[in-house]
Amino acid sequence: MRLREKRAMVTGAGQGIGRSIALKMAREGADVVIAEWNAETGDQTKREVETLGRKALFFAVDVADQRQVREMVAEVLKIWGRLDILVNNAGFDRGATLLKVKEEDWDAVLSVHLKGTLNCIQAVASHMIENRYGKIVNISSIYGKSGGIAAISYSAAKAGIIGLTKSVARELGRYQINVNVVLPGLILTPTIAKMAEKYRNMIIERTALGRIGQPEEVANVVAFLASDEASFMTGATVEVSGGSSM
């Protein structure tokens, strides 16, 4: 129960890695805000958190929309009066090679990952500064470090999240706010389950552990970074990739 009495917000928590993070945080004792634009899956995760005996709030928001994010955080603070942890996980890809990237896809992918992460951090920062306490964990990808074929917008957005994390870590460190970034490798989520087996196997072949990761294996690391056990870690990039990128 490393997160006993803490209040966490997890974006994109309707399925996959975000859902696992929300459930792991609940098991560690935290109450959880589910910020997810899919009303059905978001509500489902909310009920799963409650089944674990913790409080949960669900907001159907688009993290790329600054107004929606600010209104959500204001409402959470009105209801709970406190937010200790923010996990920026929401995202999607619209894969394309360099010459085929469409402007609207570039904008959409950068918006959800990069602007979405900025929006949420901005919305919680004053509150965390006032409390002299906060844990922010951003979800990037190994593609943010190494690049990926047919992942132009995605790799750029995920690299941006690494730079954003480090800048925010420098700015907020003096207030005892820890800001770290996790770089997952290939993780078996509903979205990745739809990927052609041929491509999945190509990535697995390059992975030292020789297998795909499970969402819980990312959630465990995020929960650690969000806990006081990681109190002297900030600005760190933590790879959870089974050794696919070293």
Torsions phi, psi of 93, nearest 5?
A: -120, 150
By C-beta, is 176 or 217 nearer to ligand NAD? 217
With CB under 6 A, what is the number of residues at the site for ligand NAD? Answer: 29
CA gap 213, 157 in Å, rounded: 22
- When asked if residue 244 is in the footprint of ligand NAD (CB under 6 A), the reply is no
By C-beta, is 73 or 133 nearer to ligand NAD? 73
Residues 60-89 interacting with ligand NAD (rule: CB under 6 A): 62-64, 89
By C-beta, is 178 or 189 nearer to ligand NAD? 189
- When asked if residue 237 is in the footprint of ligand NAD (CB under 6 A), the reply is no
Strands (E) located in the chain: 7-11, 31-35, 56-59, 85-88, 134-139, 177-184, 237-240
- When asked if residue 139 is in the footprint of ligand NAD (CB under 6 A), the reply is yes
DSSP-derived letter for residue 39 is H
The encoded tokens of residue 20 equal 């696992």
- When asked if residue 243 is in the footprint of ligand NAD (CB under 6 A), the reply is no
Which residues are at the interface with ligand NAD (CB under 6 A)?
A: 11-12, 14-18, 36-38, 41, 62-64, 89-92, 112, 116, 139, 141, 184, 186-187, 189-192
